[in-house]
């Protein structure tokens, strides 16, 4: 997959966004079965760069990510 697309996992996860060679790269939104959601930059299937994580209970983190971890 290359370009923009949507992937659904059997677990209930869903990703809508940019792909490069079947890997999440660029901007995208990942929705988790718990109702949590991440909107932002991806690099090599990991949250990386600027993004926002929304928890189902209403909390949110806005900031930088590095290798799938909050950074800042």
Domain that holds residue 16: 3-70
What is the structure's pLDDT at 27?
A: 98
At 6 the pLDDT is: 96
What is the mean pLDDT of each successive set of 10 residues along the chain, which is 72 residues long? 92 97 96 98 97 98 97 84
pLDDT for the residue 2? 85
Structure tokens at 31: 């929705």
Beta bridge partners of 54: 37, 60
Give pTM, 2 decimals. 0.92
CATH number of the domain bearing residue 20: 2.20.110.10
Q: Please report the pLDDT score of residue 42 as a whole number.
A: 98
Instruction: Please report how many Cα atoms fall inside a 13 Å half-sphere around the Cα of residue 71, on the Cβ side.
Output: 12
Number of domains in the chain: 1
């Amino acid at each position: 997959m290359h370009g923009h697309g949507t992937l659904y996992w059997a677990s209930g996860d869903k990703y809508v966004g940019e792909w490069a060679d079947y890997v999440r790269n660029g901007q995208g939104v990942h929705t988790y079965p718990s109702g949590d959601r991440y909107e932002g930059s991806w690099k090599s299937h990991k949250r990386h760069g600027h993004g926002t994580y929304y928890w189902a209970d209403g909390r949110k983190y806005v900031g930088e990510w590095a290798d799938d971890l909050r950074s800042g």
